[in-house]
Amino acid sequence: MIPITHIWLSTTPMDIRCGSGKLLAHILTEHQSIRPHCAYLFYNKAGTRLKVFIHDGLGVWLCSRQLDDNKFHGLTKQLTTTQTGISINREQFNALISGLPWRNMGKDKLTPIL
């Protein structure tokens, strides 16, 4: 099991057909460096596919996830207009990859669903 200490979710959709090289270039553009044991999540415009990019300290892992019959909840539009990515916790990550509402998981303050 790869230990993950931080999870970063892109706030804008990406072309999920790209490989690890393009995703790494995007991460380096946004963060100037890549952090070991950090998971970087990207999603497509339709909100039907996710890619998780992880650096384990030695190399990178690229995982893809697609739900059988549904979209990932809350990923069909840009998440925020002011940031390129947001930090989410493990509970939110688990809900997100399962296709469940994830924004209010593990938070003291609740974000209304508009």
pLDDT tens, residue order, the chain (114 aa): 788 899 999 888 889 888 889 999 988 988 888 889 999 999 998 888 999 999 888 889 999 998 877 788 877 666 666 777 888 888 888 888 888 888 777 665 545 544
Alpha helices in 2-112 (DSSP H): 20-31, 90-97
Rg from Cα positions in the chain: 14
* pLDDT at 107 (0 to 100): 61
Residue 40, phi then psi, degrees to nearest 5? -115, 120
* pLDDT at 114 (0 to 100): 45
* Residue 66 β-bridge partners: 49
Residue type, 10: S
Residue type, 91: E
Q: Which residue has the tokens 């790209």?
A: 18
Q: Is the pTM of this model over 0.85?
A: no
Distances (CA, A) of 51 to 6, 59, 60, 108: 16, 16, 13, 28
